[in-house]
Amino acid sequence: MSVILFAGPSLPPAARPELPGAIWRGPARKGDVRRAAEERPDAIGLIDGYFEVVPSVWHEEILWALDQGIRVYGAASIGALRAAELDVYGMVGVGRIYEMFRDGELEDDDEVALLHGPEELGYLPLTEAMVNVRATMEGAVRAMELTVETARYIAQAGKALFYKNRTYPVIFQNVSAELTHPMRAALTAWINCGRVDQKRMDVISMLLKITVECTRCDTRSRSRFQR
């Protein structure tokens, strides 16, 4: 199995599992998927990608890769966005974030956007993706740290922020009228250990799916050859 994966802050180098045949590259930009497809891997996994500062991955290059018979998977960040737009053409979306975009629960690109450091610093996230804020607030409700109403209010405050300013301290500062100091301290302490990283969870699901499906294809190919 050979698979080219484009990842950055959603699954930084230090957190990447051992995956035989995987070639890890940084966040994708325009043309990267096309160039990857020209290497003829069994699959391409699109996770993170650049936008705003450089041209982002085009739909056309993903469609070209699919036309070459290469399986293209997407999850977590720009991968989830592109998969929701191109799954009808064969791109494989994986994970809850993809499903929410596919089903129209989410629409805005800023839901997955965040500010992060360079490759030399392991793509260290400097702000929080809105999809992770939403998942964390849901987790706080399940843990009975927040009421549904307060969690919704905090999520709305996070959504109102520009993605480059979206951090929990800033969010909590903007909802100070709703959170007393003890409540804010307790919630901050809970987030330090209970924060939900939905992006990373979706990436792991995608890697498992790629491993299973590509291994199955390899097995079938070997069987045909042996016959």
Phi, psi dihedral angles at 74 (to 5 degrees): -140, 145
| Token digits of residue 26 | 């940084």
Low-confidence ranges of the chain (pLDDT < 70): 216-227
Structural element, H or E, at residue 65: helix 59-67
pLDDT at 227: 42
Sequence ranges of the domains in the chain: 1-227
Distance CA 179, CA 210 (A): 43
Residue pair 9/116 in contact by the 8 Å Cβ criterion: yes
Q: Which amino acid is at 174?
A: N
Residue pair 64/24 in contact by the 8 Å Cβ criterion: no
For the entire predicted model, the pTM comes to 0.91
| Token digits of residue 43 | 């699959």
pLDDT at 49: 96
pLDDT at 225: 36
